Amino acid sequence: MKRSFAGIKFRLALAGVFFLLLFLAITVRAFQLQILEGEKLKRLGERQHLKEWIVLPKRGTILDRSGEPLALSLEGQSVYARPHRLKESQAVGRSLAQALAMDPAEVMQKLAVDKPFVWVKRQVTPKEAERIEALNLDGVGIYYEPNRYYPQGQLGGQVIGFVGRDSQGLEGVEMHYNHYLRGESGSSLVERDALGRRVLVQGVEELQIPPGSDIQLTLDTSIQHLAEKELEASVAKYRAKAGIAVVVEPFTGEVLALANYPYFNPNNFTRQSSDQWRNRAVTDSFEPGSTFKTILAAAALEEGVVGKEDLFYCEYGKYLFAGRIIHDAHEYGWLPFSKIIQHSSNIGVTKVAEKLNKERYYKYIEKFGFGQATGVDLPGEATGVVRPVGKWAMIDLATHSFGQGISVTPIQLLMAYGAIANGGFLMRPFLVRRAVGPDSRVLWENQPHVVRRVISETTARTLTSILKGVVDDGGTGVMASMEGFEVAGKTGTAQKPDLVRGGYSAKKRVASFIGFVSADDPRLVMLVIIDEPEVNVYGGTVAAPAFRNIASASLQRLGVVPDKLTPQPIPAVAMQEASLTRLERSNDRGVVREERALEVPDFIGLSLREAVEKARALKLKVEMRGNGYVIKQSPAAGATWGRGEMLTLNLQG
């Protein structure tokens, strides 16, 4: 074939057509992608570029009652990887494992995940972060996220609780007050690159998020520290399994200390079991044993079925009741009611309970708050188990009277004793005083709350004097007595129910002491429970000394002046002298009373707490009605009025 110029021109034209078709295809495709589907594709793009960037505010601080920080938020660093971007994941994995002191196999496993993003290690140390920076690996980075730090370590660990990695409270105050502590997280639409990093767009202000609110506890760090130290010492000394100590301000219900041994350090909550972080004083119930006799005594006194000195025959240690024999630890014959409590006679209280009857007894069990949550501001509160009176067998009247067959939480029992201490009011316990915003403004304040009046003031006083006897010579709680202060309290040595075989365990005991001090002007009511002590099992021996040590140091810390400036005589020789001291003391008060007639101070506008504090400072007897702030008082402010008179305050709010 001869080369023809025309033929080539034709073929060039055909090639031109081929190119034209390609051009057309691309033009049409561009029009389709950019105009017809443009909007749809753009939206699709925005879905990946624009990401709602959630900024967690800095979590608020938890402070003790004097402003000591117990939980702080610090900036922490976490190491992440982008497995899809890793070029030599083997080598990267090895160097990561080395830099972070991790198991290479574990790191490899994480890097092998088919995800765009994985955490290699969260909350690394500054040193580790530095090493990672130095490695400068492609696809590995450091993310800054807040880290919760508990400067006091285990102190009050179960009360404070802990926080998950995304600032959600998981236990304790951290959980209950999460709303305040966490604050409002903010979010904004930000542009992100394919690696998920923010693209800084000029002119867009960095999102400013106000931090969460601070929470101030009623807890007193030094009392808490004392309680923990003494509790641990007692548990160790008696080779016990666990222990609980709770200290509450009886007039307000403020919890000053709450210790659960074994202790829990929220700084590394993952390494401890849930048993350890549970606040057992609130979440667990137990059979109270003899400490519950006080509840029966309160009921019987309030109902007027017994007087302090009424005599009961205690059958010399064995008493057949409802087909069962009730035993006493010691044999007694005739005992006055006060001595029945003092010696903790099971037979004595059974006879009192018979006289009271079960319906009336049950009414007081309920009034004292057993079987119901106290409303303490902590998560997971248990109610204990109180069977309704209709289901009581005959024997239950006896067993309940000495604290068997019923279960209560430590905090319930403590608040019941608080009602005896404060003249008859069941208070709601609380751990948090207030929430303070970032601008130091008080956002919310917890107010003392009277749940109800349980017993009259007269009953409370009578009962107090009986409970003083428990600590006096001849009582079961002598070891709780302390120099300078009168203690009112009760020992308990409860058998533990055997959950496997039924009935009660032959050996296991719960030793406890509960009481308040000073008996007639109580500043604190306290419960010490030692669970399964081995060396000795009696509450008076095992728990009472811890009570004494914690109480006396706490009173000193609170700056309370001792009632009795003369040293407490040695109990073994001083039964008489003790009563003598008491006489002197009441004389003392009489003098004060006669000396002055006072102008009634002004309480209007004060909060319940402030009113209680003011009344206590002025040593006035006050009756509160309602909650909130004082709106009315009688007698009115400025009126002349004698010390002995009762001041009535009406609150509202």
Partner 1 sequence: MRDGVAVDGWLFFAVAALLAVGITMVLSTSYLYSQERFGDGTYFFRKQLIAAGVGLVALFISALLPPAAYRRFAYPLLALVLLLLILILLPGIGVERGGARRWLSIGGFAFQPAELAKLSLVLYLAHSLAKKADKVGIFSIGVLPHLVVGGLFLGLIVVEPDLGTALTLGLVLLLMLFVAGAKWSHLALIGLSALPVLAFAVIGAEYRLRRLLTFLDPWRDASKSGFQIIQSYIAFGSGELWGRGLGESRQKLFYLPEAHTDFIFSVIGEEMGLLGALSVLALFAIIIVRGLRLAAKIEEPFSQQLTFGLTTLLGLQALIHMGVVMGLMPTKGLVLPFISYGGSAMVMNLIEAGMLLSLSRGRR
Catalytic residue numbers, as ranges: 290
Catalog residues that contact partner 1 under the rule CB under 8 A. Answer: 1-5, 7-9, 11-16, 18-19, 22-23, 25-27, 29-31, 33-35, 37-42, 44-45, 48-49, 191-195, 199
CA distance 269 to 272: 5
Beta partners for residue 629, in sequence order:
607, 652
Q: Which is nearer to partner 1, 20 or 636 (CB)?
A: 20
Q: Alpha carbon of 638 to those of 143, 600, 602, 641: distances in Å?
A: 65, 5, 7, 9
End-to-end CA distance of the chain: 112
Residue 12 CB, nearest approach to partner 1 (Å): 5
Helices 544-558 and 221-237: crossing angle, nearest 10°? 160
Q: Which is nearer to partner 1, 29 or 452 (CB)?
A: 29
Report whether 73 contacts 58 (CB < 8 A). Answer: yes
Of 67, 378, 74, the closest CA to residue 215 belongs to 67
Residue 197 CB, nearest approach to partner 1 (Å): 9
CA distance 246 to 441: 30
Q: Alpha carbon of 644 to those of 453, 458, 591, 633: distances in Å?
A: 21, 14, 12, 16
**How many Cβ atoms sit within 10 Å of the Cβ of residue 211?**
19
Residue 1 CB, nearest approach to partner 1 (Å): 4
**Alpha helices of 185-251 — where are they, by DSSP H?**
221-237
Buried b (16+ CB within 10 A) or exposed e, 101-136: ebeeeebbebbeeeeeebebbeebeeebbebbeeee
Q: Which is nearer to partner 1, 19 or 271 (CB)?
A: 19
Residue 11 CB, nearest approach to partner 1 (Å): 5
Residue 126 CB, nearest approach to partner 1 (Å): 23
Q: Which is nearer to partner 1, 38 or 333 (CB)?
A: 38
Residue 50 CB, nearest approach to partner 1 (Å): 9
Q: Which is nearer to partner 1, 27 or 109 (CB)?
A: 27
CA distance 228 to 152: 12
Report whether 53 contacts 164 (CB < 8 A). Answer: no
Angle in degrees, CA 450, 456, 459, rounded to 5:
130
Of 315, 274, 327, the closest CA to residue 504 belongs to 327
Residue 9 CB, nearest approach to partner 1 (Å): 5
Beta partners for residue 598, in sequence order:
641
**Beta strands 214-217; 62-63: pairing state:** parallel
Residue 117 CB, nearest approach to partner 1 (Å): 13
**Burial of residue 610, with CB atoms counted within 10 A of its CB: 0-12 exposed, 13-18 middle, 19 or more buried:** middle
Q: Which is nearer to partner 1, 31 or 334 (CB)?
A: 31
